[in-house]
């Protein structure tokens, strides 16, 4: 049996990450300081959550454009309970936020599987509906002044080692990623998710309840959007109907740079983590070099194209694993 | 006109062509036959310039082609007509014929000229259609004719026809053959690839038999007999194509009661353990629709399905698999495999729940089981982690079969199990089916291949236009009887 050396190709995202880090440490000042790295990882933690929210749907071959809106709606609905003056136990708004997020995800899943609306259109509509609902509920203004016990999850610093601050988001996201990694790579559900995304027809012909799987993916995406909503609200200290109007795009960027493929069936949790780090590094590095944000956006676009190309190339290499056996022609064999 | 000299082509892991020498004469129909993966298509791709040979020379009109590409070969007069048509459905016949080759008048297309010319080409092929008709409104047979017209418009001197008859009706095939004869008289040389051995004698002059990337030989079709040809294709004598050990059947595994749905009505049938029940009929008789409903892919309006006496709910493949039904679909690439996933992931998808515990996958067990089936079915792959999309067609089929063997089914539904498969692989699949029923499974086999139905089935159900018109025992069935039932309702042929 030959060695299965296809694994390294799953780490293409990290090669890109390393290349970018090297570039910025050459051109930028004090880029590799512990404090700066800590900031970058902290920032990436938030991106990783929405990236995973996007990934679970992309794996099925769909897309979720309503992530930002779900974040806004689910947190705004629970906003009053999260305020400092509220007497409701903290756990209630948190659970409710996740429930609301899941419900919107369920609505997306329902539209995709029962009404046969493509995920792009279904979640595109939800993006407006959920955002509109959040505006209707809150009217003008925001819920400002979030409970410290909630804020701690997004802003807390646990300890500091040589200028490197270990923050709560890092811990939260590490646990979150580990759980999601287990769900996606180690369970039957995850396996069916990938299979459905790779070839829905074949999945159906193999007895996989594809519709249920797609619904579960959307519910999961909504649930994770709820988690992301809480983290962002806790960070900015306010629940706001305008929260994250662009986050669905960020989520797509993270997932794509992380190696996910829009047609489904390809992508990984650690890829998303890498993708989130890449975006955070780019933002930090370019801020450091005082490059205007418009230019940063353009550069990000270039990185996406580059990453997709690079990931593709690696994926193809991976496909050829096991093809390295030497082949002889008959005449060569005789000789 | 075309000469292959010592052509060798390697792919990773495979020697696709090994020192091939073939010559095509003007006005000759040169048939290429061989099993799947024998190298016929690869050779034609070398001719068209889609592939570059590793060794050897390609000569067109006596000149060595140094650099080849689909555009170059087309300009050298090579026309390719593939199995899958390359027409654009949303464009008219005329636009398709002149696609990429438009005749200009100033900056505009010279529509009048192109219309006239198209009309000319079409009438040459005895087709009386307006060139402005959209291709999507044409039947498959007519679309093929348009492909030929397109090749003629480019003044092709050499045509490659890759399984041109596989989706044509009998009358369309006749039409095609008369066109081939006409082109022959004009001196056009043709390579003709087909799995249908009977038709070769009608249309071909010489035949080159290929096996595993090597040339077995070139023969005059007047001098070689069919069974001799089959033997050379398979590389061994096929004693008995249908190896059946008929046994006494056991209990009823599948019972379908008065099932009505889209494409079939009031169907009742039973399949017993230890038997192969054939399901015959013409294309469009509703057999595949019935199978899809039994397997839970499509819904049905009324009726009931029982597996071992237990009623199963409709429209759930999950439930069907749990009840012990598996369907080997007609189109293995689209319906059978996730090409982006590896062999292991494809195989175990049907048995995830039984391999793992509490919804968690058990990688170690998966690998063991997969390796076992890879060995048993002699699946040609260096590792079970190889992606399904990178396997050859025959290997892919075996992976699909392994996937269902694992699931320990009570009832296997085979939908056209041997369509597009070469003789050697066919007999392997037949043997497998016989083993399955010997072990007590039940098989429902949908097939349009009459000899296959007659040779393999214990009982034969015949459907016609959505209705069950007959059920025959294997000892009373013959070709004519089955056909009589298949045409039962009206005498309108396909």
Q: Are B122 and B152 in contact (CB under 8 A)?
A: no
Q: Which residues of A touch B345 (CB under 8 A)?
A: 191, 194-195
Q: Which residues of A touch B385 (CB under 8 A)?
A: 4, 6, 321-322
CB atoms within 10 A of CB B185: 8
Using the Cα atoms of residue B404, residue B410, residue B415 and residue B416 in order, give the sign of their dihedral. Answer: positive
Task: Specify the pLDDT at position A48.
Answer: 94
Task: Specify the pLDDT at position A15.
Answer: 85
pTM (predicted TM-score):
0.73
| Residues A165-188, mean pLDDT to the nearest whole number | 93
Q: Are A294 and A86 in contact (CB under 8 A)?
A: no
Q: What is the Cα–Cα distance from B413 to B269, expressed in whole angstroms?
A: 13
Answer whether B327 touches A (CB < 8 Å): yes
8 Å CB contact of B18 and A328:
no
Q: Are B224 and B204 in contact (CB under 8 A)?
A: no
pLDDT over 50 at A41, yes or no: yes
Find, among A276, A114, A257, A84, the residue nearest to A180 by Cα. Answer: A276
pLDDT over 60 at A322, yes or no: no
pLDDT per residue over A133-163, tens digit each? 999 998 878 888 888 888 998 888 888 888 8
Q: What is the Cα–Cα distance from B72 to B65, expressed in whole angstroms?
A: 9
pLDDT over 70 at B9, yes or no: yes
CATH number for the domain whose boundaries are B2-234: 3.40.50.300
Task: Specify the pLDDT at position B477.
Answer: 82
Mapped onto helix, strand or coil, the DSSP state of residue A239 is strand
Q: Is the CATH code 1.10.3470 the one for domain A32-315?
A: yes
Among A187, A206, A328, the strongest candidate for a mutation testing the B interface, having the largest count of B CBs within 10 A, is A206
Answer whether B18 touches A (CB < 8 Å): yes
**B contact residues 207-226, partner A, Cβ 8 Å cutoff:** 214
User: What is the band of B490 on the pLDDT scale with cuts at 50, 70, 90?
Assistant: very low
pLDDT over 90 at B207, yes or no: yes
Q: Which residues of A touch B337 (CB under 8 A)?
A: 199, 202
| Residues B11-40, mean pLDDT to the nearest whole number | 84
Among B352, B357, B406, B412, the strongest candidate for a mutation testing the A interface, having the largest count of A CBs within 10 A, is B352
Homologous superfamily of the B252-486 domain (CATH): P-loop containing nucleotide triphosphate hydrolases (3.40.50.300)
Task: Work out the minimum CA distance from B296 to partner chain A, whole angstroms.
Answer: 9
Answer whether B324 touches A (CB < 8 Å): no
Question: Which residue does chain B place closest to A194, by CA atoms?
Answer: B341
Residues whose CB falls within 8 Å of the CB of residue B299, separated by 6 or more in sequence, listed in order:
B261, B293, B314, B315
Q: What is the Cα–Cα distance from B319 to B325, expressed in whole angstroms?
A: 9
| Lowest-pLDDT range of B45-54, B194-203, B430-439 | B194-203
Among B54, B298, B341, the strongest candidate for a mutation testing the A interface, having the largest count of A CBs within 10 A, is B341
User: What is the band of A319 on the pLDDT scale with cuts at 50, 70, 90?
Assistant: low
Strand partners, B464: B467
Task: Work out the minimum CA distance from B361 to partner chain A, whole angstroms.
Answer: 5
Task: Specify the pLDDT at position A326.
Answer: 39
Task: Specify the pLDDT at position A10.
Answer: 65
Range ranked top by mean pLDDT from A142-146, A247-251, B205-209: B205-209
Helix (H) or strand (E) run with residue A45 in it: helix A34-58
Task: Specify the pLDDT at position B37.
Answer: 67
Number of H helices, E strands in chain A: 14, 4
User: What is the band of A324 on the pLDDT scale with cuts at 50, 70, 90?
Assistant: very low
Q: Which residues of B touch A192 (CB under 8 A)?
A: 349, 352
Task: Work out the minimum CA distance from A249 to partner chain B, whole angstroms.
Answer: 26
Answer whether B382 touches A (CB < 8 Å): yes
Outline which parts of chain B fall under CATH 3.40.50.300: 2-234, 252-486
Give, as one character, the DSSP assignment of residue A265: S
8 Å CB contact of B341 and A265:
yes
8 Å CB contact of B345 and A191:
yes
Q: Which residues of B touch A327 (CB under 8 A)?
A: 10-15
Question: Which residue does chain B place closest to A205, by CA atoms?
Answer: B335
pLDDT per residue over A46-104, tens digit each? 999 999 999 999 999 999 999 999 999 999 999 888 888 888 888 999 999 999 999 99
Phi-psi region of A264 (alpha: psi -120 to 50; beta: other; left: phi over 0): left
Q: Are A44 and A277 in contact (CB under 8 A)?
A: yes
**ipTM score of complex:** 0.79
Neighbour order of strands in the sheet with B411-415? B325-328, B411-415, B442-446, B276-281, B459-464, B467-473
User: What is the band of A333 on the pLDDT scale with cuts at 50, 70, 90?
Assistant: very low
pLDDT over 90 at A294, yes or no: no
| Lowest-pLDDT range of A99-103, A213-217, B184-188 | B184-188
Find, among B153, B140, B144, B134, the residue nearest to B92 by Cα. Answer: B134
Task: Work out the minimum CA distance from A104 to partner chain B, whole angstroms.
Answer: 26
**Distance from chain centroid for Cα B252:** 32
């Amino acid at each position: 049996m030959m060695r299965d050396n296809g694994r390294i190709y799953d780490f293409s995202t990290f090669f890109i990450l390393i290349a970018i880090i090297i570039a910025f440490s050459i051109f930028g000042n004090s880029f590799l300081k512990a404090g700066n790295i800590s900031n970058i990882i902290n920032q990436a933690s938030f991106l990783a959550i929405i990236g995973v929210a996007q990934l679970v749907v992309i794996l099925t071959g769909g897309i979720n454009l309503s992530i930002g809106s779900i974040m806004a709606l689910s947190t705004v609905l629970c906003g009053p309970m999260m305020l400092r003056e509220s007497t409701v136990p903290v756990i209630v708004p948190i659970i409710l936020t996740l429930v609301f997020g899941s419900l919107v995800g369920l609505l997306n899943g329902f539209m995709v599987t029962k009404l046969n609306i493509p995920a792009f259109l279904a979640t595109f509509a939800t993006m407006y509906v959920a955002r509109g609902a959040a505006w209707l509920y809150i009217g003008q203004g925001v819920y400002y002044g979030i409970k410290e016990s909630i804020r701690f999850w997004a802003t807390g610093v646990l300890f500091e080692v040589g200028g490197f601050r270990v923050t709560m988001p890092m811990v939260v996201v590490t646990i979150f990623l580990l759980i999601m990694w287990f769900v996606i790579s180690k369970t039957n559900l995850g396996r069916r998710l990938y299979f459905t995304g790779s070839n829905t027809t074949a999945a159906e012909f193999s007895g996989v309840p594809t519709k249920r799987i797609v619904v579960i993916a959307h519910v999961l995406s909504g649930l994770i959007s709820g988690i992301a909503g809480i983290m962002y609200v806790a960070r900015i200290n306010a629940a706001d109907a305008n929260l994250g109007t662009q986050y669905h795009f960020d989520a797509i960027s993270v997932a794509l740079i992380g190696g996910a493929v829009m047609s489904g069936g390809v992508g990984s949790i650690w890829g998303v983590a890498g993708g989130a780090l890449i975006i955070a590094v780019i933002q930090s590095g370019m801020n450091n070099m005082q490059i205007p944000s418009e230019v940063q956006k353009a550069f990000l676009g270039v990185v996406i194209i580059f990453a997709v190309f690079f990931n593709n190339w690696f994926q193809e290499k991976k496909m050829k694993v096991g093809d390295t056996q030497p082949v002889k022609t008959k005449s060569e064999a005789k000789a | 006109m075309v000469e292959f000299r010592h052509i060798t082509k390697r792919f990773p892991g495979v020697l696709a062509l090994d020192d091939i020498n073939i010559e095509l004469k003007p006005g000759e129909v040169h048939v290429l036959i061989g099993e799947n993966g024998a190298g016929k298509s690869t050779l034609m791709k070398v001719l068209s310039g889609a592939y570059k040979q590793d060794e050897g020379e390609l000569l067109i009109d006596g000149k060595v082609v140094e650099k080849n590409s689909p555009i170059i070969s087309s300009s050298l007069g090579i026309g390719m007509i593939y199995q899958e048509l390359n027409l654009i459905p949303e464009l008219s016949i005329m636009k398709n014929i002149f696609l990429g080759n438009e005749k200009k008048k100033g900056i505009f297309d010279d529509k009048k000229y192109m219309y006239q010319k198209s009309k000319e080409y079409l009438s040459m092929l005895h087709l009386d259609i307006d060139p402005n008709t959209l291709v999507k409104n044409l039947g498959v047979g007519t679309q093929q004719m348009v492909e030929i017209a397109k090749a003629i418009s480019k003044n092709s001197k050499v045509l490659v026809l890759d399984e041109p008859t596989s989706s044509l009706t009998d009358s369309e095939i006749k039409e095609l053959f008369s066109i081939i004869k006409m082109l022959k008289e004009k001196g056009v040389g043709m390579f003709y690839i087909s799995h249908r051995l009977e038709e070769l004698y009608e249309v071909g002059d010489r035949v080159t038999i290929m096996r595993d990337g090597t040339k077995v030989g070139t023969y005059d079709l007047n001098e070689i007999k069919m069974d001799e040809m089959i033997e050379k294709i398979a590389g061994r004598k096929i004693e008995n194509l249908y190896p059946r050990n008929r046994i006494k059947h056991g209990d009823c595994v599948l019972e379908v009661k008065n099932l009505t749905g889209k494409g079939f009505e009031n169907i009742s049938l039973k399949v017993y353990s230890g038997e192969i029940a054939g399901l015959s009929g013409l294309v469009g008789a509703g057999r595949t629709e019935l199978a899809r409903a039994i397997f839970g892919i499509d819904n049905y309006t009324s009726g009931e399905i029982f597996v071992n006496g237990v009623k199963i709910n409709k429209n759930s493949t999950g439930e069907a698999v749990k009840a012990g039904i598996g369907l080997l679909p007609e189109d293995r690439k689209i319906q059978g495999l996730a090409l982006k996933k590896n062999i292991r992931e494809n195989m175990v998808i049907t048995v995830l729940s039984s391999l793992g515990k509490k919804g968690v996958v058990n990688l170690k067990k998966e690998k063991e089981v997969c390796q076992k089936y890879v060995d048993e079915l002699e699946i040609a792959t260096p590792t079970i982690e190889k992606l399904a999309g990178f396997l050859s067609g025959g290997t892919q089929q075996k992976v699909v079969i392994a996937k269902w063997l694992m699931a320990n089914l009570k009832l296997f539904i085979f939908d056209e199990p041997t369509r597009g498969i070469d003789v050697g692989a066919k007999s392997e699949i037949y043997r497998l089916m016989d083993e399955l029923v010997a072990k007590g499974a039940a098989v429902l086999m949908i097939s349009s291949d009459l000899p296959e139905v007659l040779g393999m089935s214990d009982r034969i159900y015949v459907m016609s236009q959505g209705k069950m018109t007959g059920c025959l025992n294997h000892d009373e069935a013959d070709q004519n009887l089955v056909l009589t039932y298949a045409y039962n309702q009206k005498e309108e042929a396909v």
